[in-house]
Amino acid sequence: MLVAKFLRECSKKMAGNSRDEILKRIRMGLYGSSLNEPGQKAEPEVVESDSLSSIPSASTESLVDLFIEELLKVNGNAMVVKSAGELNEFLEKFVDQRSLKSFSIWESELIRKFKIKELLEGRGLELRPSESKEKLAMVDFGITEADFAISASGTLVLMTSEKKPRSVSLVPPLHIALVGIVN
């Protein structure tokens, strides 16, 4: 299992309004320049299928390594754990090192399997429900399960639902995403 933690702490380098800065960066990525005015459309990028032919033949281990390498490039962190014990040890250290007190968590099969909610509540952490926006805004970290991990870009895909709200991965300053690895 791969645990990817996204530390989305506010950057001191962001000048002015954070929202404007984020939108500027998105526009730069979409339009390939420092364009600040919306309304101009980017030309879609065409990718030849032959350029992706090496990825399907890669081993699971090399795809995990590539995912971690790409995730590090976008200021994420990742670690591979091979057992429930290793996952519990990681979570305990993660919480203790940061003196975390509260969390929000998805209801998913993988998270239930490893009894993460029970582990954290047993350590005295407060579970704050994602339904309450006021309480979620004060959560120390969120835990989700990724449906897909795209190795070529270090991207996680999270399919949201009523029991898996997007806000758990976006609102808290820290995010842990569990990714099951299928051989």
Domain contains 20: no
Give the pLDDT confidence score for residue 57 in this predicted structure. Answer: 64
3-state secondary structure of 57: coil
Q: What is the pLDDT of residues 50-100, one digit of tens each?
A: 444 445 567 888 899 999 999 999 989 998 998 999 999 999 999 999 999
Greater model confidence, 32 or 66: 66
Domain contains 48: no
Ramachandran region of residue 124, left (φ > 0), alpha (ψ -120 to 50) or beta? Answer: left
Domain contains 66: yes
Domain contains 95: yes
Domain contains 21: no
Domain that holds residue 112: 2-9+59-179
Domain contains 33: no
Domain contains 36: no
Give kind and range of the element (H or E) at residue 127: strand 126-127
Global model pTM greater than 0.85: no
Least confident of 13-27, 51-65, 148-162: 13-27
Q: Which residues contact 78 (CB under 8 A, 6 or more apart)?
A: 2, 3, 4, 5, 67, 68, 71, 72
Q: Domain tally for the chain?
A: 1
Q: What is the pLDDT of residues 40-53, one digit of tens each?
A: 554 555 445 444 44
The average pLDDT across 11-19 equals: 47
Domain contains 51: no
Residue 15 scores a pLDDT above 90: no
